[in-house]
A = this chain, B = another copy of it.
Amino acid sequence: MPERVDVTWHAHSVTRAEREALNGHRGCVVWFTGLSGSGKSTVANAVDAQLLARGVRSFLLDGDNIRHGLNASPELLAEYGDSFARRFGLGFSAEDRQENIRRIGAVAQLFAAAGIVTLTAFVSPYRRDRDAVRRQVEAQGAPGDFIEVFVDAPLDVCEARDPKGLYQRARAGQLPGFTGVSDPYEPPQNPELVLPSAELPPNILAQRVIVYLQSCKKIP
């Protein structure tokens, strides 16, 4: 990318450890994955609020703040011209989904390096893409920095909830490549946490995340 510098790392003046010491807790990435309607965003928001109440610095990356900016669609990038929008705007092809998750992972890693408990809430259906983020985050930080949280609800429950009417549109053929309907969801094989979101309410599930973060010494 466009800075003409040899790709060599040198230490910043301020280290990650210093930022974490100021905050009184560690930075990390808590990666929520699961079907649309499984409750990822709801649980992640509840974790965010519980962390705030504990004085822990956290941030939530989700469709709301990523889709309008960093990973805008070709339509949203139209002001930059057609060629630009087509090249960098993200749609729903496998390649686009892969780049979507790659960018989110890179940003989550930066937030973790800033000493923030970084929550992400994206379907992120492909195991390969999530594993690539785990490798990146841990390579640039340390093992244990990436905490994969499987928000596990059966498809029929998610589809019955259908909070955004997306399953209905997918079944009507209006959303080709919709995860769970016409595109696969690959559940994590070794997630750090599984949250049964068809059985327990969001605040209880969020509490489990807090307890996990305490158990691995990310937060006091």
Contact = CB atoms under 8 A, between A and B. Distances in A.
Interface string A77-95: 0001001100111111001
A68 B140 contact: yes
A2 B60 contact: no
A63 B175 contact: no
A98 B110 contact: no
B1 A48 contact: no
Interface residues of A, number: 75
A25 to B, nearest CB: 12
A192 to B, nearest CB: 22
A109 interface: yes
Contact of A114 (B59, B123, B140): B59
A147 interface: no
B164 A5 contact: yes
B4 A36 contact: yes
